[in-house]
Structure 1
Amino acid sequence: MSGRQVVFAHGKESGPWGTKIRYLADMAVAAGWSVESPDYSGLDDPGDRLEQLLARPRDAERLVLCGSSMGGYVSAMACQRLQPHGLFLLAPAVYLPGYPGEPADCPAATVVVHGWRDDIVPPANAIRFAESRGCALHLLDDGHRLVDSLDFIGRQFSELLRSLG
Structure 2
Amino acid sequence: MISTDSAMQDVDKLVSFAHGKESGPWGIKITRLAEVARARGFAVDSPDYSRTHDPRERVQQLLGQHPRAKTLVLCGSSMGGYVSAQACAALRPTALFLMAPALYFPNWDEEPAGIPELAAVAHGWRDDIVPVEAAWRFAQRNRAALHVLDAGHDLNDQLESLCLLFDDLLARAERNT
Which of 80, 88, 113 is matched with 1:79 structurally?
A: 88
Contact 1:46-1:70 within 8 A present in 2 as well: yes
Contact 1:9-1:75 within 8 A present in 2 as well: yes
Alpha-carbon offset, residue 59 of structure 1: 2.8
Find the counterpart in structure 2 of residue 143 from structure 1: 152
Cα offsets for 1:38-85 (capped at 9, x unmatched): 000121000000000011123311100000000000000000000000
Find the counterpart in structure 1 of residue 107 from structure 2: 98
For 1:31-50, list aligned pairs within 5 A. 31-50=40-59
Find the counterpart in structure 2 of residue 2 from structure 1: 11
Matched, 1:161 2:158: no
Alpha-carbon offset, residue 9 of structure 1: 0.1
Aligned residues: CA RMSD? 0.8
Matched letter for residue 14 of structure 1: S
Provide the identity percentage. Answer: 54
Alpha-carbon offset, residue 164 of structure 1: 1.4
The whole-number CA distance in structure 1 between the counterparts of 2:68 and 2:131 is 35
Specify every segment of 5 or more residues in structure 2 that has no aligned partner in the other structure, as ranges.
1-9
Aligned residues: 165
Secondary structure of the structure 1 residue equivalent to 2:89 = helix
TM-score, length of structure 1 as denominator length: 0.97
Cα offsets for 1:97-131 (capped at 9, x unmatched): 23231101100110000001101000011101101
The whole-number CA distance in structure 2 between the counterparts of 1:20 and 1:63 is 19
Moved over 2 A (4+): none
Which of 121, 124, 135 is matched with 1:126 structurally?
A: 135
Find the counterpart in structure 2 of residue 88 from structure 1: 97
Matched letter for residue 30 of structure 1: A
Secondary structure of the structure 2 residue equivalent to 1:3 = strand
Contact 1:93-1:99 within 8 A present in 2 as well: no
Find the counterpart in structure 2 of residue 109 from structure 1: 118
The whole-number CA distance in structure 2 between the counterparts of 1:68 and 1:52 is 16
